[in-house]
Structure 1
Amino acid sequence: MDGIPQKIALPTALAAWFARRGWQPRPHQLAVLERTGAGRSVLLTAPTGGGKTLAGFLPSLCDLIGEREMAFPDGKLHTLYLSPLKALAVDVRRNLEEPISDMDVPIRVESRTGDTPQSRRQRQRKNPPHMLLTTPEQLALLLSYRDAGRYFSHLRYVVIDELHALAANKRGDLLALGLARLAAMAPAARQIGLSATVAAPAQMARFLDPAGPVSVIDGGPGPQPQIAVLAASARVPWAGHMTLHAMADVYNAVKAQQTTLVFVNTRAQAEVVFNHLWRLNEDSLPIALHHGSLAPEQRRKVEAAMVRGALRAVVCTSTLDLGIDWGAVDLVIQVGAPKGLSRLVQRIGRANHRLDEPSHALLVPSNRFEVLECQAAAAAVMEGELDGEGPRRGGLDVLAQHILGTACGGPFVAAALYAEVCRAVPYEGLSRDTFDRVVDYVATGGYALRQYERYARLIVDSEGRHHVTGPRVARQYRLNVGTIVQEPMINVRLLRGRNLGQIEEWFIDQLVVGDTFAFAGEILRFEGMRETSATVSRAPGREAKVPSYYGGKFPLSTYLAARVRDLLADQKAQKKLPGPVRDWLSMQRRRSVLPAPEGLLVEGFPRGGKHYLVCYPFEGRLAHQTLGMLLTRRMERAGHRPFGFVASEYALAVWSLNQVEDVDPLFGEDMLGDDLEEWLAESNLMKRTFRNVALIAGLIDRRHPGQEKTGRQMTFSSDLIYDVLRKYEPDHILLRATQADAATGLLDIGRLGQMLGRIQGRIDYRRLERVSPLAVPLMLEIGKEAVHGDSMEDLLSEAAEDLIEEASRLI
């Protein structure tokens, strides 16, 4: 980490603004100013509330205020700010306008998002503000115009906020390609990356500016947070994910504070938790709901109420993880296990959004395994640990989108564009052959599709330059730019009333008129479809289905999984666990054994005429589901006649007709070879993945002028093309991209491969006469998908009593 200066001169107006507030610039803020002044890009890591945003804009403010006499050209863009959230860009603009107004300096600051009126966006292109606050998608749009070179020619700073939230996904691929393009248009511009949770600063610094040099500035850890794990009511459920047993405790915690953020991991969980808190709300506390499916105006209303201090609590998902500056939050409650350390640190940082005060957090586990995870996570955070993925290998579908966007901005020469693309960290290892194949796809659709005119998007002139075939191509690109692919959504609208938000199309498809469901913090009755909207009426007091959204589920991080395995091997650390959980682990030691950190515990036992295999990899649900599919195929070939499997974040259970005598061959590393290829060839998973790849790569367009395709239309189109390519061009570049996406995303193949390598020769197979205590939570997962509503926890509790009675009977 680079050294931090103690003092540096500020322009008079800026120094006076600090003085009027009784503030002093913090050392890490001055360090950003010094390093950028020396011509270096900067990565600043500092805790939430540590003044990162002001640090990021300090060089720009000093430039623009200091150059008043020199007059930086009006109508030229000086600073570009990029954020993962539209709301964050708007919030930062508001926070910047206050000091600019107080200093009475002629600096124009504007935000640009998908919600910005078209007339303002057109004006911003013709007459840019000094500072433009926007998103990676809007940057891609701006780069696709023919005047992009002129637009960015005076650019001096690119400030990237919450960098960790972008770098490890496809939005990060798009951002990295955009930064490489900007480097060609404005080579003197410096990058300033900001983040509170970077596990590998050196990697992230290279992502910012691979040509370097990049100064890494550490703003210090801040005060140690105060974290408690709630063991509610003296009982801890065996299974379940809604944490209903603890709602009274959560409500009491909300009552005891002035302002609380209640974080959950899924939108479905947000609806359930909000409804239960509302039922308990005898004091009529102002409690709100915030998640990504609610109507934008409803989310903005909640955010504005938070800024005013008008709410006692907000139940929210990851939509409020990042950035928005609410200094008055007293407590963060995490309902359900956090699944990752960096996410937990980010959420905890929302409480006491001030540098010198500790954040207060309460973790509320849903079940016994989650108690272990919460305890491990709290200990790791107190030790200052972080996790998270670094920059990834870039997606070929994102590259295809970028190549088309580049062509929309003017003709390109393939060799020059290839060199530019390779300056983006996710693509620095890209071969020229692969690049040329992607260019060919963008130009023609590929060998199997080149006879269709709609896929002819690029032509090559006599000088070897690639051009778009016409203005229609550019229009379609700009309508569909971006890498966020959501499940097809349906608007939910009150009868003769307002729009409440959106729900996945597949969920609405399964409803009949009269069905009730929970959404937007209310119980709604489905009244039918009207054009493209689901019409509903309010149905208070009714029992309801809960939308089981596809989005919003987090995998258990590799680092946190290892911490949980370590906790199971550490009897001293287990003394801090709640009594029921300690008793559960003690019972497991008597009946079987606890999993070792580096090996794999596999238990086999008969029950109900079937033979069960339960293993405990602690590698997350995605990896376990893939393992379950491959394991059952192997068991079928070996004659064990498997019936099915169930996977959780922590374990996997498979049941079969015949008993397994030797488990080692079942867990061989070779299962990721032919077994995996055969399964993928037979499953619909690849078609689902291909649809997302095809949307990003522009093979199918969701949006057309004045209309938008339904989910069924997109699925039909993508499935048809997938079958054609599989038959006639099996090496098509988008099929290759689909395989890579499935392996790293939906299947978690890399993580599963690491686990299989780690356990070779270390499998501990225990043959038992009956279910073990550790297996009870997983056994309760079997068949519970069909059960909805509040009765779930009662049913699980009743089943748990039977199972644990069986597990506790000693020989």
Structure 2
Amino acid sequence: MQSLPPQFTRWFASKGWTVHSHQQEMLNRSDAPALLLIAPTGGGKTLSGFLPTLTDLAHGDHDGMHTLYISPLKALAADIKRNLTTPVTEMRLPIRIEDRTGDTSQTRKRRQRADPPHILLTTPESLALLTSYEDAPRMFKGLKRVVIDEIHALAESKRGDQLMLALARLQTLCPDLKRVGLSATVEDPAAIARFMARHPDPCPILLADPGPPPDVQMLRTSEAPPWAGGGAAYAIPAVLDQIRQHNTTLIFHNTRAQAEIFFHNLWLANDDSLPIGIHHGSLDRTQRERVEAAMVRGELRAIVCTGSLDLGIDWGDVDLVIQIGAPKNVKRLVQRIGRANHRYNAPSKALLVPANRFEVVECVAAVEAVLDGELDGEPRGPGPRDVLCQHILITACAGPFDADTLFTEVTSAGAYASLTRPEFDACLDFCATGGYALRAYDKWQRLVQRDGFWSLRDPRSSQRIRMNIGTIQDTDTLKVRMKRNRGGKPLGEIEEDFAASLTHGDTFLIGGQIVKYEGLREMTVEVSRDAVKKPRIASFMGAKFATSTQLSARVQRMFTQDSWPELPDHTAEWLALQREVSQLPQPGRLLIESFPHDGHAQTVFYGFAGRNGQQTLGLLLTKRMEDLGLHPLGFVATDYATLIWGLDPVTDPAPLLDPMALQDGLDTWLAGNAMMKRTFRASATIAGLIERNTPQARKSGRQATFSSDILYDTLTKYDPDHLMLDITRQEALRGLVDFARIQEMLERIDGRIDHRVLRKVSPLAAPLFLEVGRVPVKGAAEERLLAKEAARLMEASGLANLTPPPSDTPRWRVGG
């Protein structure tokens, strides 16, 4: 067993701490080429990862960079710097620690390259940029360890693929480099280990004591949730009561728009003037940092937030987490729960607030999954080729390279282990020429082969390549600031399309305050404060999560129960009535209901394929219905069902669900769909075909869209087998339309269909009609129409005695 140096032992004793067994084990196994630690929140993961580094550096005999720390968040890197500085300072260790993110000044960045610190804390994007410089071998000379924090968050996106390719490059420069991964929430540790290790090297997994189970429940309210909507305004009084009872409460939302709405409603009801803040990625950085600093000082009683505060930052005295709306993903919920009572062996406390009636069921299923320790996740598939194209260009910026050597290096990254040589060569050819249809244009002639080595045709192009490094696709946004005669204070960003819909005098929410649109000056939205109480709301892109496959399956298993004592009475009665009128969806079977309503034939498909999957199913089924002469008029989709209305009833649904016909319909639909152009623009930007940033200026969203649409149409017409079109189709199927969830559903049911022909709307289908009814009618008129429609629907479906408020749809227009 490796013992701690004396000053470390004394320091631990001065804090009243003892070394946890997993921390000692990390120290004992510090020579392992790769190691994955899974430890609960507050279990000292960060110190576990850094103990070998600190003990190595305690002797003061290492020149240059020793350890590289990778974080998915800039704020997390800054937080780790604060936490590491404390023991280093108190033990007087000769260690220099610095962070490097997009917020770091150019002066500090240049100094770090010339004189690297012992420990550098950074992000995947900044690391990729560092590897693109000619002096990267000198900067990373002597690098011993890489610590990847919250590795589960990176493994789920292209940022993780970019990181692993950068690590493959570092491993070439530093063959003895050791890799350490840290996480608290991993549903498949072996998959993360394969992702992190240098293929085909093994990566041992170290599991720490998980500690006590969290205290997680559903918030019980005096008012029942509405039938539809996502704002959970009904729960505001109960949430305020919880805030009063706790020191600091984090109130998580799944989208930025929902966070803004909830914060506004919470503030209007905050009669006690409790200090409450808001934090999300569209707010100005200065405002976010001000909120973060207030949290650290313990000055805020509650913070309404999104995924911007998901990860392992220790925010002061947080003792309660509230999740507004169904979490959609158990792993994400566990991560958020861990923000409360951020101490080892102290149970985290969390409350879930369903936004509507169906989410009550989903929230209870999520709570049970957390207590059972069942996490969820989707397989990611092979490494994306648009990221590989960017990596090839990054490699060329650093100097000439040999294709065989680079192929070997790339396939050592786990996600790219199955990459074939023809696939690699196609990416290399694309980087060199732009592909068959574009090779005549100098703009895309970027690489040239000389004496067997590939290099940049024009070394000056390295500047433009570096300016566009990254895989995060920003939405097309415009800065928002107060008018110059009102101080010119920056507030954040709104989507370009939303800004284009604004006219002088329109009001909207941003950063929790209501502002009035004054005009557009130099591509900046200028606003002034406004005292109206019912604004429009900024159309933040955010992430609209889909319910995971595993959570959907758990919900369906709940439907097989004879009764539901774990559910509130109003929801249990609703499900019982559904069973009496029709039936509940069953695992391994597809429930389809057909009934007349509003003079049209209505059909509901309960596929539980997630929102994107159900949306795609609606598109494909309506196309199939048109082919079969059933005259569909429209559809609406949620996470669990698709409702289609039309002129003719569906008497035999089996032909609609023929897998080959659905696949053909998907191919036809994708070929002419605008979403393909958006997907193409995203992948082409990552791959380097389209530049968003130039030395002169950043292209606006409209400029980028115009140029990418021309490219897409050109390639579709003249080079349909172009690499970027193949990548676009693969990306669309994997993420945009989630066709894999539909295929999984068809395999799961294997032709087993329960078709129920009913005389009226079923209880389970009734809320879907309120989804349809989200019409932009202003003020009291909208409320009266929604109340009238809800009462009529509930009466028609037999739910009149169970009726809560009609809908939680906000009374202002959403996104225009």
Q: TM-score range by the shorter chain?
A: over 0.9
Cα drift, residue 412 of structure 1? 0.8
Partner of 1:402: 391
Partner of 2:106: 118
When residues 611 and 93 of structure 1 are mapped into structure 2, their CA distance, relative to the original with a 3 A threshold, is: same
CA distance in 1, matches of 2:189, 2:607: 29
When residues 789 and 371 of structure 1 are mapped into structure 2, their CA distance, relative to the original with a 3 A threshold, is: farther
Q: 1:516–1:542: 8 Å Cα contact kept in structure 2?
A: no
CA distance in 2, matches of 1:137, 1:576: 45
Aligned pairs (5 A) from 1:201-212: 201-209=189-197, 210-212=199-201
Partner of 1:671: 661
1:444 paired with 2:452, answer no
When residues 397 and 790 of structure 1 are mapped into structure 2, their CA distance, relative to the original with a 3 A threshold, is: farther
SS at match of 1:233: coil
Partner of 2:155: 167
Give the root-mean-square deviation of aligned CA atoms.
1.4
1:574-628 Cα deviation digits (max 9, x unpaired)? 2111111011111111110111011111000011111000111112110001100
SS at match of 2:595: strand
CA distance in 2, matches of 1:392, 1:661: 38
CA distance in 2, matches of 1:684, 1:222: 49
Partner of 1:184: 172
SS at match of 2:167: helix
CA distance in 2, matches of 1:429, 1:517: 49
Cα drift, residue 786 of structure 1? 2.8
CA distance in 2, matches of 1:19, 1:791: 67
Partner of 1:333: 322
Cα drift, residue 790 of structure 1? 8.9
1:601 corresponds, among 587, 591, 597, to 591
Q: Which amino acid aligns with 1:28?
A: H
CA distance in 2, matches of 1:792, 1:402: 52
Q: 2:223–2:234: 8 Å Cα contact kept in structure 1?
A: no
Cα drift, residue 788 of structure 1? 6.7
Cα drift, residue 8 of structure 1? 4.1
CA distance in 2, matches of 1:587, 1:764: 18
Q: Which amino acid aligns with 1:502?
A: E
Cα drift, residue 741 of structure 1? 0.5
Aligned pairs (5 A) from 1:219-238: 219-238=208-227
Q: Which amino acid aligns with 1:135?
A: T
1:268-290 Cα deviation digits (max 9, x unpaired)? 11111111111111111100000
CA distance in 1, matches of 2:481, 2:783: 31
1:807 paired with 2:776, answer no
Partner of 1:722: 712
Partner of 1:42: 35
Aligned pairs (5 A) from 1:278-289: 278-289=267-278
Q: 2:282–2:540: 8 Å Cα contact kept in structure 1?
A: no
Partner of 1:352: 341
1:734 paired with 2:727, answer no
Q: 2:214–2:371: 8 Å Cα contact kept in structure 1?
A: yes
Cα drift, residue 212 of structure 1? 2.4
Partner of 1:624: 614
SS at match of 1:778: helix
When residues 526 and 227 of structure 1 are mapped into structure 2, their CA distance, relative to the original with a 3 A threshold, is: same
Q: 2:589–2:754: 8 Å Cα contact kept in structure 1?
A: yes
After the TM superposition, which of the residue ranges 582-591 and 232-241 deviates more from structure 2?
A: 232-241
Q: Which amino acid aligns with 1:127?
A: D
Partner of 1:3: none
Aligned pairs (5 A) from 1:756-775: 756-775=746-765
CA distance in 2, matches of 1:668, 1:30: 57
When residues 788 and 681 of structure 1 are mapped into structure 2, their CA distance, relative to the original with a 3 A threshold, is: farther
For structure 2, the 5+ residue unaligned runs are 801-816
Partner of 2:476: 488
Q: 2:187–2:375: 8 Å Cα contact kept in structure 1?
A: yes
1:245 paired with 2:245, answer no
When residues 729 and 253 of structure 1 are mapped into structure 2, their CA distance, relative to the original with a 3 A threshold, is: same
1:697 paired with 2:687, answer yes
Cα drift, residue 22 of structure 1? 1.0
CA distance in 2, matches of 1:797, 1:772: 19
How many residue pairs are counted as aligned between the two chains?
Answer: 796
Q: Which amino acid aligns with 2:722?
A: H
SS at match of 2:120: strand
CA distance in 2, matches of 1:103, 1:82: 24
1:26 corresponds, among 11, 20, 25, to 20
1:323 paired with 2:307, answer no
When residues 790 and 743 of structure 1 are mapped into structure 2, their CA distance, relative to the original with a 3 A threshold, is: farther
After the TM superposition, which of the residue ranges 592-601 and 213-222 deviates more from structure 2?
A: 213-222
2:494 corresponds, among 499, 503, 513, to 503
1:765-796 Cα deviation digits (max 9, x unpaired)? 00001100000111111141535779867654
After the TM superposition, which of the residue ranges 175-184 and 789-798 deviates more from structure 2?
A: 789-798
TM-score (norm 2): 0.96
Partner of 1:92: 80
Partner of 1:4: none
Partner of 1:101: 89
CA distance in 1, matches of 2:593, 2:737: 24
Cα drift, residue 240 of structure 1? 0.8
CA distance in 1, matches of 2:10, 2:788: 67
SS at match of 2:494: strand
For structure 1, the 5+ residue unaligned runs are 1-6
1:528 paired with 2:522, answer no
When residues 216 and 391 of structure 1 are mapped into structure 2, their CA distance, relative to the original with a 3 A threshold, is: farther
Aligned pairs (5 A) from 1:45-60: 45-60=38-53
1:82-139 Cα deviation digits (max 9, x unpaired)? 0000111111011111110101111000000000000100110010000000000111
Aligned pairs (5 A) from 1:552-591: 552-572=543-563, 574-591=564-581
Q: 1:545–1:789: 8 Å Cα contact kept in structure 2?
A: no
Q: Which amino acid aligns with 1:142?
A: L
TM-score (norm 1): 0.96
Q: 1:136–1:174: 8 Å Cα contact kept in structure 2?
A: yes
